[in-house]
């Protein structure tokens, strides 16, 4: 059964347009409250966090109304990173958690992500059942059993302490100058606080949210500002987070950017050498570079690939008992410390290795030589299905034949935006560009 509202990471879209309307959020809250209340008769709790988008107020109130109408007790965390909701849901003995965020998207988008009582994202089956309840409607509680809502003032500080606990005990960051770009998002207070408390000289960027500037020329999707700041201040590195702080992009002391693949390669190699890489494997998606796979294989480490989306990475990790996974985009999942991607904790792992080894960021972030990779996006309109057009399918088939034995081609619909992503890898740069451009042209023609 296909999902109507849920994508790869919750329900997402432009604020005040279906499905991201206040009316829909109320229905989602009531459906989710009804779904989770069925499992026991005790008092039921849900924790809600959000990032810094102006529309977060609207969705927070609408969700609260829907949830309390079914008897849920709502605990409002305010602006906190997505991983904080994953951590605090089981800590506060809640039935489930909700994060209101559209992650790396612009301010005009928003989303609703769910976490189960164990702090992990919901299964496809649970989301499909919630969708059914949204469409069918649910019975509301009597007036004497309506739930309540209350603010939790120390949610951010609880997360700060948990993040610090992932850093080696007794180790400090004294003498290190660290730029942290919080994308004017959910970690604008927590990330600088953690780094300062660990002893770093912190240079904050993107810490003045106004409701509309989240991810605006800053953060993990726009690391240029952080790179310029690193060079200007002579900093040791920059940690660039996205709007909800579940992903990271690193910038070394020279202003060079390193993606999630480089960080995962470093961590997997280090953890394997220490004997703490569970299953001697890293879980990553089909988007991760072929160079990463070759590097890991040279060390006897397996690369387990999944569909795109950190939820699928986590599912495979839990199935196989693995403790390290992530995405090239910077979602790094370390189940020893967190239940979902955590950009800050991943950055702390990198900083710890800098302290241990005495090496510069540029030395550690250049883990392997990537195979040339090219990714281009084509936007399409609602109702269009360009990948079903025969001419597009023929173009893809021809491109795959051209790359056979020389590289690989990946075509997919984004799970968070109306985009067709065309990605290829090939040692031959000219062939790489020609292959991608040919497919992109065919998709563009189909969307006119």
Per-residue confidence (pLDDT) for residue 39, from 0 to 100: 66
Per-residue confidence (pLDDT) for residue 205, from 0 to 100: 98
Q: Looking at domain 260-365, which CATH architecture does it have?
A: 3-Layer(aba) Sandwich (3.40)
Q: Is 225 in contact with 217 (CB distance < 8 Å)?
A: yes
pLDDT at 444 over 90: yes
What value does the mean pLDDT take over residues 121-140? 94
Given pLDDT bands bounded at 50, 70 and 90, which one contains residue 382?
confident
pLDDT at 1 over 60: no
| Token pair in block for residue 330 | 């910077």
**Degrees to nearest 5, angle at CA 83 with 81 and 84:** 65
Per-residue confidence (pLDDT) for residue 7, from 0 to 100: 84
Q: Which residues are catalytic?
A: 103
Q: What is the pLDDT of residues 10-31, one digit of tens each?
A: 999 999 999 999 999 999 999 9
pLDDT at 296 over 60: yes
CATH of the domain spanning 6-155: 3.40.120.10
Same topology between domain 6-155 and domain 373-446:
no
What value does the mean pLDDT take over residues 144-157? 96
* Strand ranges for 384-443 from DSSP E: 407-413, 419-426
Task: Please give the Cα distance from 238 to 254 (Å, whole number).
Answer: 10
The CATH T-level fold of domain 175-257 is Alpha-D-Glucose-1,6-Bisphosphate; Chain A, domain 3 (3.40.120)
- Of 243, 287, 242, nearest to 264 by C-alpha is 287
| Token pair in block for residue 142 | 């009597």
Question: In the chain, what percentage of residues exceed pLDDT 90?
Answer: 92
| Token pair in block for residue 307 | 């569909």
Task: Please give the Cα distance from 334 to 323 (Å, whole number).
Answer: 6
Q: Can you tell me whether residue 97 is helix, strand or coil?
A: strand
Q: What is the pLDDT of residues 342-376, one digit of tens each?
A: 999 999 999 999 999 999 999 999 999 999 999 99
pLDDT at 40 over 70: no
Residue 352: count of CB within 10 angstroms of its CB? 17
Helix (H) / strand (E) containing 345: helix 343-357
Residue ranges per structural domain of the chain: 6-155, 175-257, 260-365, 373-446
This prediction has a pTM of 0.91
Q: What is the pLDDT of residues 113-124, one digit of tens each?
A: 999 999 999 988
Given pLDDT bands bounded at 50, 70 and 90, which one contains residue 265?
very high
What value does the mean pLDDT take over residues 74-96? 97
| Token pair in block for residue 352 | 């710890």
**What top-level class would CATH report for the domain 373-446?**
alpha beta
* Strand ranges for 45-122 from DSSP E: 45-50, 73-79, 96-100, 109-115
Per-residue confidence (pLDDT) for residue 18, from 0 to 100: 95
Q: How far from chain centre, in Å, is Cα 57?
A: 21
């Amino acid at each position: 059964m296909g999902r109507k509202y849920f994508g790869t990471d919750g329900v997402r879209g432009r604020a005040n347009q279906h499905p991201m309307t206040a009316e829909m959020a109320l229905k989602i809250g009531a459906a989710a409250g009804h779904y989770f209340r069925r499992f026991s008769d005790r008092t039921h709790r849900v924790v809600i966090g959000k990032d810094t988008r102006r529309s977060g107020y609207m969705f927070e109130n609408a969700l609260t109304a829907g949830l309390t109408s079914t008897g849920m007790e709502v605990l409002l965390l305010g602006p906190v990173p997505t991983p904080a909701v994953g951590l605090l849901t089981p800590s506060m003995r809640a039935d489930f958690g909700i994060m209101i965020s559209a992650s790396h998207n612009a301010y005009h988008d928003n989303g609703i992500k769910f976490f189960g009582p164990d702090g992990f994202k919901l299964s496809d089956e649970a989301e499909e059942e919630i969708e059914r309840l949204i469409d069918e409607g649910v019975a509301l509680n009597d007036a004497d059993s309506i739930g309540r809502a209350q603010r939790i003032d120390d949610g951010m500080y609880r997360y700060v302490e948990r993040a610090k606990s992932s850093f080696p005990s007794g180790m400090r960051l004294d003498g290190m100058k660290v730029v942290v770009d919080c994308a004017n998002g959910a970690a604008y207070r927590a990330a600088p606080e953690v780094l300062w408390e660990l002893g770093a000289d912190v240079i904050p960027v993107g810490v003045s949210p106004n409701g509309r500037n989240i991810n605006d020329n800053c953060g993990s999707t726009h690391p240029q500002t952080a790179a310029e700041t690193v060079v200007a201040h002579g900093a040791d590195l920059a940690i660039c987070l996205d709007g909800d702080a579940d992903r990271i992009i690193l910038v070394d002391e020279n202003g060079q950017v390193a993606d999630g693949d480089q960080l995962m390669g470093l961590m997997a190699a280090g953890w394997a050498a220490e004997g703490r890489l569970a299953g001697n494997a890293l879980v990553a998606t089909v988007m991760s570079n072929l160079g990463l796979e070759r590097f890991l294989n040279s060390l006897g480490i397996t690369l387990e690939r999944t569909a795109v989306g950190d939820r699928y990475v986590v599912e495979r990790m839990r199935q196989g008992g693995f403790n390290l996974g992530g995405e090239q985009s910077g979602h790094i999942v370390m189940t020893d410390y967190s239940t979902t991607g955590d950009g800050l904790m991943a950055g702390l792992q990198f900083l710890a290795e800098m302290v241990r080894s005495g090496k510069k960021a540029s030395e550690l972030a250049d883990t392997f030589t990537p195979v040339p990779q090219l990714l281009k996006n084509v936007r399409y309109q609602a109702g269009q299905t360009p990948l079903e057009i025969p001419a597009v399918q023929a173009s893809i088939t021809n491109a795959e034949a051209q790359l056979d034995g020389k590289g690989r081609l990946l075509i997919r619909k984004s799970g968070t935006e109306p985009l067709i992503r065309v990605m290829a890898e090939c040692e031959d740069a000219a062939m790489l560009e020609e292959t991608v451009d040919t497919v992109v042209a065919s998709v563009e023609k189909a969307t006119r």
